[in-house]
Amino acid sequence: MKILVAVKRVIDYNVKVRVKPDHTDVDLANVKMAMNPFCEIAVEEAVRIKEKGGADEIVVVSIGEAKSEEQIRSAMALGADRGILVSSDESLSSLTVAKTLKAIVDKEQPGLVILGKQSIDSDNNQTGQMLAALAGLSQGTFASEVNIEGDKVSMVREIDGGLQTLSLTMPALITADLRLNEPRYAKLPDIMKAKRKPLEKMELADLGIEVNKTVTTIKVEPPAEREGGVIVADVAELVEKLKNEAKVLP
């Protein structure tokens, strides 16, 4: 069985995001970029499934600027076998990315597709679900546990208020939630080895995909700042203020 994992190049999660003074976007000049943390969890899960004998090949795909090759190499250092880079200099919508991934799924015919549940830049949480719809795959979102059982995938989802277990018919699509696993650190020999793993490069247009531009960002602003308040001396003063000043206690 083949597993396809999609990874995205995003701003490193440790970087403090700043909005550009002209309010057109956040400032990405000279900031550290990395693999989206949820994508890293997706890669790790694929590697664990392969290590347990549940898969024989892991293909990693990234769509975006040419530098996304770095994130593909990172995924290879963690254990992916082969890479596909679909490059485009344009800003790509979720639907465009889902259509691109659908073309890759058609070509590669994976038994399992794993994505992160969302990227930490656009916070959309939709590409996996869209891909599942377009490719006619069963969908298990926000996974905290994944087990391959013959031609089914048993998976546990993080839902509001608890956990839900589903059985998915393969080919299936999984989106990884935070608690699915803790990704390993790549070892130096594996980082070296990753440089020699096969990587296929293509342009978005090579797949016949047009960039969908129906949603445009017209402004990006910093959120309203919260003013710090007062420090109270003790519990009595706190309760008094909550009752009489804030009026949030009866």
Partner 1 sequence: MSILVVAEHDNSVMNAVTLNVVTAALALDADVHVLVAGQNCQSVADEASNVSGVTKVLLASQECYSHSLGENMGALIAELGSSYTHILAPATTNGKNYLPRAAALLDVEQISEVVAIESADTFKRPIYAGNAIATVQSTDAIKMMTIRGTAFEAANASGGSASVESIDNNTDSGLSSFVSEEVAKSDRPDLSAAKVVISGGRGMQNGENFSMLEKIADKLGAAVGASRAAVDAGFVPNDMQVGQTGKIVAPDLYIAVGISGAIQHLAGMKDSKVIVAINKDEDAPIFQVADYGLVADLFDAIPELDAAL
Residues numbered 169 to 208 that lie near partner 1 (CB under 8 A) are 169, 172, 178-179
Should residue 140 be labelled a site residue for partner 1 when binding is judged by CB under 8 A?
yes
Instruction: Give the separation between CA 35 and CA 242, rounded to whole angstroms.
Output: 44
Q: Which residue in 21, 29, 53, 123 binds partner 1 (CB under 8 A)?
A: 123
Specify the amino acid at residue 59. Answer: V
Should residue 19 be labelled a site residue for partner 1 when binding is judged by CB under 8 A?
yes
Q: Which residue in 61, 130, 180, 204 binds partner 1 (CB under 8 A)?
A: 130
Should residue 114 be labelled a site residue for partner 1 when binding is judged by CB under 8 A?
no
Should residue 29 be labelled a site residue for partner 1 when binding is judged by CB under 8 A?
no
241 Ramachandran zone, left/alpha/beta (phi>0; psi -120 to 50): alpha
3-state secondary structure (DSSP) of residue 57? strand
Should residue 74 be labelled a site residue for partner 1 when binding is judged by CB under 8 A?
no
Q: Which residue in 129, 148, 183, 194 binds partner 1 (CB under 8 A)?
A: 129
Token duo for residue 63:
């769509």
HEC readout, 151-206: CEEEEEEEECCEEEEEEEECCEEEEECCCCCCCCCCCHHHHHHHCCCCEEEEEHHH
Total residues at the site for partner 1 (CB under 8 A)?
A: 76
- 13-21, 41-49, 61-69, 78-86 -> range binding partner 1 (CB under 8 A): 13-21
29 versus 230: smaller Cβ distance to partner 1: 230
Token duo for residue 77:
């250092």
Query: For partner 1, what does the binding mask look like between residues 211 and 230, x meaning CB under 8 A?
Result: -x-xxxxxxxxxx--x-xxx
Q: Which residue in 29, 150, 236, 244 binds partner 1 (CB under 8 A)?
A: 236
68 versus 129: smaller Cβ distance to partner 1: 129
171 upstream amide cis, omega within 30 of 0 = yes
CA distances from 183 to 76, 78, 79 (A): 13, 9, 11
